[in-house]
Amino acid sequence: MLSRCSPRRGFSLIELLMVIVIIALLVALLLPALSKARRAARTAVCESNLRQYATGLINYSADSKGFMAQYNWKPGYSDSQYPDLNFSEDYVTAHANQCTEIVRRLSGNASYYTSPADRLVDRNFGHLFLIGSGYMGEKAPDPASVCPEDRDAIIWQKNVGNYAAAFALTGDPDPDSSVAYKKIYPFWSTYQFIPNAWCSDTGPNCMVQATGSPGSHLLYTVYPALTKFQQRSQDDVLFPAQKVWMFDMFDRHSYARTIWHAYSSAAQPLLFFDGSVSFRRTRDANKGWNPSTPDSDSPTVYTYWPTPAEPPTLSGAPSDLVTGYFRWTRAGLKGVDFGGKEQFRY
């Protein structure tokens, strides 16, 4: 007896279109959730990086009678095994020389690196002192020194010994800097120390914010003949749980795109002097002061004027005025950034 085969029935066009529509809807629903999950994971890595900094910084202070980890060479001394890094004329050069000594030792390439005395290395290269002292990481560049959202710094790390190749991909973030400074960009840290971690809170030796030209938002005004960097102590900090120690120059985690940290709408993980890491919004911080005019109620106000390698302003104009906030805390290390009123008595 022969069996009768029923004819195979395929999808109709309407059914196929319905399947495509359902898949498209599912993708539309899932992609934002996946993107949000990836961003949350990268934020967690960023917070973990800052906790590694906290461990190294606090351990160093515990072993050093409370002093903070920072470059400590002084002008006029012979501290280096390299003759060209001795007898500095000022503190800016002395710290640049100390940074260069560490980079030469960690990289094993002494002939490639010369002292970048045209820039302050204490801000984004201060972690090299921790690495060189054995309190953080085992190599440089250190992956923990870079936020996973900081694409440029990741590219710089992959191009040690070839800054030109790196800048071909990222652009030059500081076109006016020397070649010596450009060469150490692979050792850059996303996370910056506040200026009062290595200089006085106010007075003739303090740092003040540069302003008025493209890229000046990255810089401080310093007078090498007058400026004296000082070894700061944990005892100088009156409110360690409320005072920011390290921060990122940019919000890479909360806004629709990367923006400068001093916009009130920015937010980021911050390292505080008690070793805690907390995700905070800039607008929730106290506005700070201008350390050159400590008796004034006015905060530091300066221009975010990005170079072509940096994120554009929020307004779309060439530059925007922004407030200093925790970069320029009122009363310096004696002040409060979050969770309390500003200290108006210095």
The pLDDT confidence band at residue 6, using thresholds 50, 70 and 90, is: low
The pLDDT value given to residue 154: 97
Phi, psi of 208 (to 5 degrees): -135, 160
The pLDDT value given to residue 5: 54
The pLDDT value given to residue 19: 78
The pLDDT value given to residue 33: 60
- Please give the model's pTM, rounded to 2 decimal places: 0.88
Closest CA to 178 of 237, 114, 241: 114
Of the listed ranges 63-77, 204-218, 313-327, the one predicted with least confidence: 204-218
Q: Tell me what the mean pLDDT of segment 252-263 comes to.
A: 95
The pLDDT value given to residue 224: 64
The pLDDT value given to residue 206: 85
The pLDDT confidence band at residue 346, using thresholds 50, 70 and 90, is: low
The pLDDT value given to residue 23: 83
* Cα→Cα distances 70→3, 98, 137, 304, Å: 89, 10, 16, 27
Mean pLDDT of all residues belonging to the chain: 91
Distance CA 218, CA 89 (A): 24
> Is the per-residue pLDDT at 8 higher than 60?
no
Q: Pairing between strand 301-304 and 320-323?
A: antiparallel
The pLDDT value given to residue 278: 96
Q: Tell me what the mean pLDDT of segment 94-100 comes to.
A: 97
Q: Tell me what the mean pLDDT of segment 9-30 comes to.
A: 75
Q: Tell me what the mean pLDDT of segment 222-238 comes to.
A: 83
Phi, psi of 72 (to 5 degrees): -130, 10
pLDDT, tens only, 281-340: 999 999 999 999 999 999 999 999 999 989 999 999 999 999 999 999 999 999 999 999
The pLDDT value given to residue 35: 64
Residues 191/197/201/203 CA torsion (nearest 10 deg): -100
Distance CA 146, CA 148 (A): 6
The pLDDT value given to residue 140: 86
Of the listed ranges 20-29, 141-150, 158-167, the one predicted with least confidence: 20-29
> Is the per-residue pLDDT at 270 higher than 80?
yes
> Is the per-residue pLDDT at 211 higher than 80?
yes
Count of CA atoms in the C-beta half-sphere (13 A) of 80: 26
Q: Tell me what the mean pLDDT of segment 54-77 comes to.
A: 95
Residue type, 324: G
The pLDDT confidence band at residue 34, using thresholds 50, 70 and 90, is: low
Q: Is 202 exposed, middle or buried (0-12, 13-18, 19+ CB in 10 A)?
A: buried
pLDDT, tens only, 111-121: 999 999 999 99
Of the listed ranges 51-65, 165-179, 197-211, the one predicted with least confidence: 197-211
